[in-house]
Chains A and B, each alone.
Chain A
Amino acid sequence: MKRLLAIGLGIVTSIGGFLDAGSIATSAQAGAAFGYGLLWAVALGTVCVIFLVEMSGRFAIVSGHTITDAIRKRFGFPALAAPFAVTMLVNLLVLASELGAVCVALELATGIPFQFWAVPVAIALWLLLWVATFDVVEEGTALLGLVTLCFVVAVFKLGAEPAELMRATLVPTLPTEERAHYLFLAVSIVGATIAPYLFLFYSSGAIEDKWDKSYLLPNRVVATLGMLFGAAISMAVIVVAALTLKPQGVRVEDYHQAALMLIPAFGHWGFKLFLASLAIACFGAALELSLASAYAAAQTFGWNWGEDLKPRRAARFSVAYTGFIAVATLIVLAGVNPMKLTLFSMAITAVILPLTVLPFLLLMNDRIYMKDHVNSRFSNVVVVLIVFLSAVLALVAIPLEMFGSQ
């Protein structure tokens, strides 16, 4: 019964927590510019993230270590330092993206420019982490996050053609124009789908909730179904944008244009639903990111960590997320276009994936840690192929996008 509850809750958490600034921004742009053309990129990223999330849960269950802990112990501090520094830097950009997106949602709702919202939103975020417990943070935001299911409802209301969707999901195509931008969006989508903070967060949660071997099966079910359903919402954003924004030739340069996509399905409620989805999904992601980054710091240096600990009992951990939120807030205050920042951060995420995934994969095949639960050759090959392909493509796509061939 307890396991069943854990499965149900895990799936709801994954669905409600799947969308974030990265997936909303990349999906909205992709749908508006290329129709269904990039659905396959979500599918590709999802296959990889299912494997990675399942592995990170299995690793925590079998070895009793979080991933960061084990990377340091197995490969030493010098080997962890570079991936750690890069991950923190990218997490910071992504956190700024999430905060920025929440602020834009508030700007669209009130008319007050988004920079003015940065400090109040950051304080709300910090206060929740400071006073609430892990379960409240995780389950509360996930439940509210179910509002993002409105994109799936919209797909049905707009009457998308299932056969066409299926084909675009399974068969990648290359457009005749704007190939550089297409490639850039493809890697950004993969980066948004395989967010490393997601599986670092998941493994820390498994340790904090003291999962034992009876959770091996629930872990597998949650990873697979949760990510699949979550990805369905991400795909729904592409489909809705393809059906509503593309025919009118709307180019999504920032969230203002993206916010119009639900209106044909829901009328004036569509606008409000989009804002609610954006604000809640990104706020939830910001919570997870702040925690995941503080976890990473604490596990790298061996500090007391845990969302259930009072700040007094884990001062280094609490100050870590406090500082992290403060710096991200400064980035938002600087007034960078939140959507541009998001797309850029997602593409960079794709570049750095091998740095975190490779040492993790080595651990997943190490019998000292995993005993009889090491990876199958199949899952190794799938993850290595997708991660390295995305990194190489991202290295090509980023300069093309920045210096423009269009």
Chain B
Amino acid sequence: MRRDELHLVRDVLDTQVRDREERAMGKVDGIGLELREGAPPRVAYFEIDGVTAWSRIGPRFARWAGRIAALWERAGHPYRFTWSQVRELDIDLELDVDAERTAAFDLERWLRDKFVSRLPGGR
């Protein structure tokens, strides 16, 4: 892929995001632009956030998703990253982070603590 021809929507939005150990963190659910006076808009951040994804369908879906996500969300939501954290973009987008330490893993952690580890074989 030629990097000088990156299309935000075609190549980045909805792409699978992985951490440096290739753990699936989520998808690129949204892209935030920064509007600047006297200069063209600039990409400020990318985010992994279910509520953002549902808000692309409609505000009501976003509200429902938000209420459900409140169960497991801790501080730091939504999870946002910048282009400088991207290690590679091929089929998936790989970040130079540890997924466990990010808000993108809140649901994963919550389910692991509340359910998986309490079941036999889930340690």
Q: Bound complex: CA of A73 vs CA of B91, how far in Å?
A: 10
Out of B9, B24, B108, B121, name the residue touching A131 (CB < 8 Å).
B121
- Docked-complex contact B91 and A302, CB < 8 angstroms: no
Q: Bound complex: CA of A301 vs CA of B52, how far in Å?
A: 12
* Closest residue on chain A to residue B24 by CB atoms: A304
Query: Would you list which residues of chain A between 72 and 104 have a CB under 8 Å from chain B?
Result: 72-73, 76-78, 81
Query: Would you list which residues of chain B between 95 and 123 have a CB under 8 Å from chain A?
Result: 107-109, 111-112, 115-117, 119, 121-123
- Docked-complex contact B27 and A77, CB < 8 angstroms: yes
**What residues of B have a CB within 8 angstroms of the CB of A304 in the complex?**
23-24, 108
13 new A-B contacts at CB < 8 Å, known A312-B112, A315-B115: A131-B121, A298-B24, A301-B26, A301-B27, A302-B17, A302-B27, A302-B48, A304-B24, A311-B122, A312-B116, A312-B123, A318-B116, A322-B115
CB of B50 closer than 8 Å to a CB of A: yes
Point out residues on A near B: beta carbons under 8 Å: 63-65, 69, 72-73, 76-78, 81, 130-131, 298, 301-305, 311-312, 315-316, 318-319, 322
- Docked-complex contact B25 and A302, CB < 8 angstroms: yes
B87 to chain A, nearest CB (A): 17
Given the interface pairs A73-B15, A77-B29, A316-B107, the reply to whether A311 lies near B116 with Cβ below 8 Å is yes
A76 to chain B, nearest CB (A): 6
**What residues of B have a CB within 8 angstroms of the CB of A130 in the complex?**
119, 121-122
Q: Bound complex: CA of A76 vs CA of B48, how far in Å?
A: 14
Given the interface pairs A301-B26, A301-B27, A302-B25, the reply to whether A77 lies near B56 with Cβ below 8 Å is yes
Q: Bound complex: CA of A316 vs CA of B16, how far in Å?
A: 15
Out of A72, A131, A305, A319, name the residue touching B111 (CB < 8 Å).
A319
- Docked-complex contact A302 and B108, CB < 8 angstroms: no
**What residues of A have a CB within 8 angstroms of the CB of B27 in the complex?**
72, 77, 301-302
CB of B53 closer than 8 Å to a CB of A: yes
**What residues of B have a CB within 8 angstroms of the CB of A322 in the complex?**
115
Q: Bound complex: CA of A28 vs CA of B14, how far in Å?
A: 44
- Docked-complex contact B121 and A302, CB < 8 angstroms: no
Q: Bound complex: CA of A311 vs CA of B117, how far in Å?
A: 9
**What residues of A have a CB within 8 angstroms of the CB of B48 in the complex?**
302
* Closest residue on chain B to residue A80 by CB atoms: B14
Q: Bound complex: CA of A78 vs CA of B107, how far in Å?
A: 21
* Closest residue on chain A to residue B13 by CB atoms: A76
The 0/1 profile, CB within 8 Å of A marked 1, for residues 1-20 of chain B is 00000000100011111000
A-B contact pairs, 30 of them (CB 8 A): A63-B91, A64-B91, A73-B15, A76-B9, A76-B14, A77-B14, A77-B27, A77-B53, A77-B57, A81-B57, A130-B119, A131-B121, A301-B26, A301-B27, A301-B50, A301-B53, A302-B17, A302-B25, A302-B27, A304-B23, A304-B108, A305-B24, A311-B119, A311-B121, A315-B108, A315-B112, A315-B115, A316-B108, A318-B116, A319-B116
**What residues of B have a CB within 8 angstroms of the CB of A298 in the complex?**
24
Out of B14, B25, B107, B121, name the residue touching A72 (CB < 8 Å).
B14
